[in-house]
Amino acid sequence: MANLIFKGIYKTEDQLPKANLPLNAVKFREPVTVESSVSASLIFVIPSTLLICLFLFASYLLHGELVIRLSSIVDTAFLRPMMPLLLIFTTIIPHELIHAIALGKGVNAEFFLAPRSLSAFIISVTPITKKRFIIMSFLPGFILGWLPLLVWAILPFNELYSAHLLFFSVISILGSCGDYMNIFNAIRQMPKGSYHQHSGFNSYWHIPESETRPVA
């Protein structure tokens, strides 16, 4: 796990660590503020929602209890509205901790809260491989979202936990849309053998010079 350093409330980019970037570093084509990043990531709500609907349909095929489940969902969302709100906040810290674990040992990662966008994020200026960056971005949504959603779909309906498990899964999935955007950008923009590196709010990629020198 990375060395996680809590830095408090994020206000301006001046708070973020700056990296000593190599000369061949290429800046990502991506949003340049927390707010614009959250807005841009909303496009990934659409495919995520479609996949969630597939899980709902699979649950119906397995158990034939979708109507009962929907009634419980409505009860949780509208009759006990504090529960979904609490679930939103319970996902934030575990989400970032999973990012930190995936970064690996010995890496310093600074943890910021961003209340204006109801989010949090970690920043590390240590370069990591394209593969590790994609895995690091993918893991929180998978562990906290897609995996619990799969468990929810397989297990028979239970009045005590089914609706809460579904809400937790969906919130974790939709809360990971920023990570899905990072994965999309990495796949499209980073060539094979490249490294990802943060500096300030921006992401950069570069290929180590040893890999770009021609063989003698």
Determine the Cα–Cα distance for residues 101 and 131; give it in Å rounded to an integer. 15
- At 140 the pLDDT is 95
Name which of 22-31, 72-81, 127-136 the model is least confident about: 72-81
pLDDT at residue 209 tops 80: no
Whether residue 74 has pLDDT greater than 80: no
Q: Who has greater pLDDT, 118 or 28?
A: 28
Confidence of residue 77 (pLDDT cuts 50, 70, 90): low
> Whole-number mean pLDDT of the chain?
83
